[in-house]
Amino acid sequence: DIQMTQSPSSLSASVGDRVAITCRASQSISTYLNWYQHKPGKAPKLLIYAASSLQSGVPSRFSGSGSGTDFTLTISSLQPEDFAAYFCQQSYSTPFTFGPGTTVDIK
């Protein structure tokens, strides 16, 4: 199985801050890397697919980069509605695996 790690596991930030979350795969997954946002009691939401493609309807302050084993999700200017958990997922090979998640909370 491909193991996914994320850092940091949590971070505190203020509205307007630039935030970066990294995800690393245990082997090369090309650009088969997806990012999701998850708020308690709600359905997870796809933000970025194929490492850098913005899902329709997602604000442009979200961006993704990387290929191979190292990836980054960047929020350019954190908004109040962005305080949530974020997790990455590889869709390169089954079993699909997820990162452990990063919680973004208010500083």
Partner 1 sequence: QVQLQESGPGLVKPSETLSLTCSVSGGSISSYYWSWIRQPPGKGLEWIGYIYSSGTTNYNPSLKSRVTISVDTSKNQVSLKVSSVTAADTAVYYCAKAGDYYYMDVWGKGTTVTVSS
Contact positions toward partner 1, by CB under 8 A?
Answer: 32, 34, 36, 41-46, 49-50, 55, 87, 89, 91, 94-101
CB of 16 to partner 1, least distance (A): 29
What residue type is 51 in one-letter code?
A: A
CB of 46 to partner 1, least distance (A): 5
The DSSP element (H or E) to which 104 belongs, if any, is strand 102-106
Nearer to partner 1, 3 or 77 (CB): 3
Nearer to partner 1, 15 or 50 (CB): 50
Neighbours of 51 (CB within 10 A): 22
Cα(90)–Cα(46) distance, rounded to whole angstroms? 13
